[in-house]
Amino acid sequence: AEELEVERKALTRDDPKSGAKQLTENEITSATTLSFCTYELIRSPGIQQRLHDEVVAAFHSNGEMEYDVLARLPYLDAVVSETLRMHSPGVKVTVGQNIDIPIYAIHHCEEFYPEPFKFDPDPIMPENRYKVLPYTYLPFGAGPRNCIGMRFSLLEVKLGLAHKIKNYRFSICPETDVPVQYKRMLRIGAPKRTNVRIEKRV
């Protein structure tokens, strides 16, 4: 067998800093996505219950869930994907202002999503994904330079959401902001606060 040559390179002083920065930014985006998932689920009790039923059936009796099982939960995937569509990064622009790719506008365009401001995971279920036009769903960008942390972020969010939904029921409380109020963080929009009522499931 032919031996492959591997280029060995010492770490520079900036490599650990760069890696730590990337992990920190990933934690912030995952936490923000979980906050938005919770916000949408408290406003849609039927969706929350359907997700809970799917998630509970997937956990082992010891409270663990294997990666391949997590990766095959279609409704969990659709809920996370719909959350990323509804709350994708973006800013409001004024008339005449120069813009780059307006991801938020694409995700909220009636031409691509018939009810763009309604949280509905069903159109993003596997059997409907073929209807989503190319480059109209861009929470992680697209092409060869899309988000390098996409798979890790999705895994982290899905696992976190599965554990939350398995053990707790979330609902709107008097302090819940409807509609959600945004604050700017790094390159993403985050909810200013996510006040919810939490009940332990029995």
Q: What is the pTM of this model?
A: 0.60
Confidence band, pLDDT 50/70/90 cuts, at residue 62: confident
Hey, what's the torsion of the CAs at 152, 169, 192, 180, to 10 degrees?
A: 100
Question: Binding site annotation covers 147?
Answer: yes
Note whether 122 and 128 are within 8 A (CB): yes
Terminal Cα-to-Cα distance of the chain (whole angstroms): 58
Note whether 87 and 38 are within 8 A (CB): no
DSSP class of 115: S
* β-strand pairing of 197-200 with 168-171: antiparallel
* pLDDT tens digits, one per residue of 133-144: 999 998 888 888
Mean pLDDT rounded to a whole number for the chain: 83
Nearest-angstrom CA–CA distance, 93 and 173: 32
Looking at residue 52, what is its pLDDT? 96
Looking at residue 23, what is its pLDDT? 47
Is 27 strand, coil or helix? helix
CA nearest neighbour of 39 among 186, 152, 151, 198: 198
pLDDT surpassing 70 at residue 22: no
Share of the chain above pLDDT 90, in %: 41
Hey, what's the torsion of the CAs at 45, 68, 84, 108, to 10 degrees?
A: -90
Question: Which residue segments constitute the domains of the chain, with CATH numbers given?
Answer: 21-90+100-200 (1.10.630.10)
CA nearest neighbour of 137 among 178, 110, 160, 108: 108
CA nearest neighbour of 168 among 30, 33, 27, 41: 41
